[in-house]
Amino acid sequence: MLGFLEGRTSAGYGNFYEFDIFHKILKSLPTWEEKIDYALRDPSFLGRDQFERSMWPLRHPDVCKVRFEDLIGPKGGGSRERQVESLARLFAQIGSPEDPEDVADRIYNENSWSFFKGRSGSWREHFTDKNIARFDEQFGDILEQYGYE
């Protein structure tokens, strides 16, 4: 979200008024550590509450759960095997006749308007130990429920 709101994606950060407000705030902070700390502290920061508010699909038996890391495949730092398996589960869920192998070659698009880097684990390049501690304190239990760490 920080990369997006700073305008680091291929199409910038969009034209919603909230985006412009947070864009200006983030641009005023000189380091990634400060930007991340701000995003973790401001209760109105965009998307901050979405993982908790979206917990119900995680538990719903009719929802096919797939992770970004599993869909991006080798181009995004994941594996082809997990990508194809995830697509096969998704297609089975929706009854699609698509061949997961064929779609896997087309699914990762580094020119997508919303991609900053589109790489699994790229957050590690910016989070300091202080940021990780604050994140774990605030969201560690939610992270575990989603199957991370």
Cβ 105 vs Cβ 88: under 8 Å: no
Q: What is the pLDDT of residues 74-104, one digit of tens each?
A: 888 889 999 999 999 999 999 999 999 999 9
pTM: 0.68
Domain spans in the chain, listed from the N-terminal domain onward: 2-56+113-145, 62-107
**What span, in angstroms and rounded, lies between the C-alpha atoms of 4 and 114?**
7
1-14 confidence digits (pLDDT tens): 666 676 655 555 55
Cα 17 vs. chain centroid, distance in angstroms? Answer: 22
Q: How far is CA 84 from CA 14, 62, 75, 76, 117, in A?
A: 32, 20, 13, 14, 21
